[in-house]
Amino acid sequence: MPYYTLGGYLSYLIYMLPAYLIVLFIQIRLKSVVSKYSSVTVSSGLTGAESAKLVASRGGAFGISVVPISGQLTDNFNPETNTISLSVPVYDKRSVTAVGIAAHEAGHAAQYAEEYGPAKLRSATVKICNIGSRLSLPLIFIGIIASIDALIYAGIICFSAVVFFQLVTLPVEFNASSRAVKILSESGSLTEEELKGVRKVLNAAAMTYVGALATSVFQILYYLSRARRK
C-alpha cells in the first residue's frame, strides 16, 4: 500500500474517511430497500426468471438463457454466453426486489443486443483496466519506498484506468435500470406502486457504483498528494 508507517496509514484513513462514509451510507440504504421490497410480492405473480425473460425478449435480446446461481447479489449478465445468472433470492421469487434485479440484468442483455455504445466501451476496456488495477498499487508502493517519482506517477496512471472504467460503468448501469423499468411498465405486469418499489431498489443498487467511483477518486487524489509531498 502507499502508506508504510503508522502515521502514513492513519493519514490515509483520515483522507479516505468521507468516501468510506459515503459507501457505508449507500450499503445501509441498499440493504434496507432490498429487505423492504423482498417481502412485497408482485400482484401478477411474476418471478425473477420470468421478469428477466420478459425484459430480454421485449428489449430485443433473443436466445438468452436464464439460470440460477449461488450466493446473494451475484446476479449478472454474461454477453459471451448470452446468459443471465440470477441468485437464489431472485431466480424463482415473486418479490418486487427479485423482479427488479432480474429485469435490470435483462436490461444489460438488451444493451448488447442494441450494441449500446457505453456497454461496448466498457467491454472493450475491461482487460486493460484489470491490468491497470493489478499494477497500480505495487508501482505506487515501490515508487514511494524507493523515492522514484516515475514509478509513483506510472502507478497513478494505471489506477486512472480503474477510475475510467468505473466512470463508464455508471451510464451502463443506470441505462439498464431505465430500460428494465420502461419495459416492465409497458408490459402492464406491475402496478404503479410496484414499479415505484422497483425504481427504489434499482436506484439503491446503482448508487453502489457511485460509491465505488467516489472511493477511487479519493484514492487517486491521495496518491497525487503523496507524490507532490515527495
Q: Which residues are catalytic?
A: 105
> Which residue do the cell numbers 441468485 mark?
87
> Which residue do the cell numbers 431472485 mark?
90
d(CA 126, CA 132): 10
C-alpha cell at 92: 424463482
Query: Which residues, other chains included, contact 49 with Cβ-Cβ below 8 Å and sequence gap of 6+?
Result: 66, 68, 86, 91, 92, 102
C-alpha distances (whole Å) from 168 to each of 119, 123, 131, 172 are: 8, 10, 17, 7
